[in-house]
Amino acid sequence: MTNRKKLVTILGFDYPDNDLDILLGRDSRPQVQTRLFARRLTQMMQETTSLPVNCISAAPISPYPVHPQRIVAPSKQREIRTKVARASFRSLPQLNYRITKLPSRLITSFLAVILQSFRQRHGYVVVYSVHVPFMISGLALAKLTGGRSVGVWTDPPGMLIHRHSSRILRLIRKFEKKLINILGNRFDLLIVLTPDLAKELADGVPYLVVEAITDELPPAKAVYRESQPTVFTYTGGVSKRYGVDKLVEALQILPSDSNIELKIFGTGDYEDELLAVAANNPTITFAGQVSHKEAVNAQNSSDFLINARPAGEAYTRFSFPSKTLEYLASGVPVLSTRLPGIPEEYWRVLIPIEESTPEEIATAMIRASELDKNQRSYLGQQGRELAMNKTYAAQAQKVRKFLEESGED
């Protein structure tokens, strides 16, 4: 035990790039945003402290049969090469069935932190997401090592109970919420996307709002023009839950002389309906699932980017849509519904959609299309400037100050 060192251990989902490319390449619903946030979190923690970073990670893949792999084998101790430094990495084995995924992660992560406790003394234990197996194991590691536990909470867990859910599911979700409340209140510190997420799950625990993290931004490639047609692009989950159906309906009620086109990239449960609509409407293009690079290229070649996620859904209080910052980073002007999880500073650079209805979406699109080249350029560049202040290096400065003010380990 005398060789134990002060470390940062992250329980999460960061993975070596080559390994994850192979895993996600076989996933019919790849969790791209989880991958991106996990890597940016690692880089942010590397920038935040001078301590070595260790990643204990589960594969961020869908359960079988959405992903064909039934068993994920463990890996030997290896390295993740980030843009900042190298991080130690160990993957967790898991039984990738829906019913066994969480129990297997609990067992394997708990065993992993027992081993980690022989290497670590003090430092930080960072737990990514409101994920019960990692919350239990992370709190245990903090106890064993005398380290400080830091929960990093992004989207809320799947515990928002729908009125049409079965009685058994409602009971399970209620138990899950109570367990999360108990575990959440045991963390020393929290980093959350929205204040409501911290207050709902662990009221009283000191928290810092870090609504999103971006990579260092490459040179802007946005093109500002006034030529017709005006192209609006949506990239992300193709689901009614995200308002994609309302967005499509808005296109269908636009005046015939509006000269507006919509391009949609992504996958989800609205795909089949969208394909049928797009087949009969030349102003709507559905490209399906594409690589992150292709999605970014599509964003850069658009006149406007749009997010029509319904603002009235209960979960929006707890969530910041990651695509908002991704959109702004492109330098292309952005339209968004008035989601409660979006901080006030963003509304000086966003074009608001006042209500989550096809009529209001159509009105906002027409209003945006009437902006001249200089107005589009101003909004796009202001949005990009805001995004530049949200990189992992910039957010690390906020986190470092938060940790120092909360008392160094």
Question: Facing residues of 304 across strands?
Answer: 232
Q: DSSP per residue over 216-272, as a string? A: PPPPP------PSSEEEEEES--SGGGTHHHHHHHHHHS-TTS-EEEEEE--STTHH
The confidence band for 214, taking pLDDT boundaries of 50, 70 and 90, is very high
Averaged pLDDT for residues 201-227: 92
pLDDT at 95: 97
pLDDT at 159: 45
pLDDT at 281: 96
The class that CATH gives domain 7-215+391-406 is: alpha beta
Residue 382: which residues within 8 A CB-CB, separation 6 or more? 348, 349
Which tokens go with 348? 């000086």
- Confidence check: pLDDT of 227 > 90: no
Q: DSSP per residue over 32-66, as a string? A: HHHHHHHHHHHHHHHHH-SS-EEEEE----PPBTT
Alpha helices for 284-321 (secondary structure H): 292-300
pLDDT at 253: 97
Can the peptide bond before residue 195 be classed as cis, meaning omega within 30 degrees of 0? no
Give the predicted TM-score (pTM) of the model.
0.91
In the chain, list all ranges with CATH 3.40.50.2000: 7-215+391-406, 230-389
pLDDT at 166: 66
Least reliable range by pLDDT among 71-75, 141-145, 250-254, 310-314: 310-314
Say if residues 266 and 236 touch (Cβ distance below 8 Å). Answer: yes
- Confidence check: pLDDT of 408 > 80: no
Say if residues 300 and 330 touch (Cβ distance below 8 Å). Answer: yes
One-letter identity of residue 152: V
pLDDT at 409: 55
- Confidence check: pLDDT of 220 > 90: no
* Alpha carbons 114 and 312: distance in angstroms, whole number: 43
- Confidence check: pLDDT of 268 > 70: yes
Task: Provide the CATH number for the domain formed by 230-389 in this structure.
Answer: 3.40.50.2000
Q: For residue 231, count other CB atoms closer than 10 A to its CB.
A: 19
Q: For residue 185, count other CB atoms closer than 10 A to its CB.
A: 12
Q: Which pLDDT tens digit goes with each residue over 386-400?
A: 999 999 999 999 999
- Confidence check: pLDDT of 308 > 80: yes
Burial group, residue 314, by CB count within 10 angstroms (0-12, 13-18, 19+): exposed
Q: DSSP per residue over 76-91, as a string? A: -SEEEE-SS-EEEEEE
pLDDT at 28: 86
Q: How many helices (H) and strands (E) does the chain have?
A: 13, 16
Q: Which pLDDT tens digit goes with each residue over 39-91?
A: 999 999 999 999 999 999 999 999 999 999 999 999 888 899 899 999 999 99
Q: Which pLDDT tens digit goes with each residue over 318-370?
A: 989 989 999 999 999 999 999 999 999 999 999 999 999 999 999 999 999 99
Mean pLDDT of the chain: 93
The confidence band for 165, taking pLDDT boundaries of 50, 70 and 90, is low
Least reliable range by pLDDT among 39-48, 150-159, 183-192, 308-317: 150-159
* Alpha carbons 233 and 2: distance in angstroms, whole number: 57
Say if residues 349 and 386 touch (Cβ distance below 8 Å). Answer: yes
Q: For residue 161, count other CB atoms closer than 10 A to its CB.
A: 16
Averaged pLDDT for residues 197-215: 95
Q: Which pLDDT tens digit goes with each residue over 95-106?
A: 999 999 999 999
The confidence band for 315, taking pLDDT boundaries of 50, 70 and 90, is confident
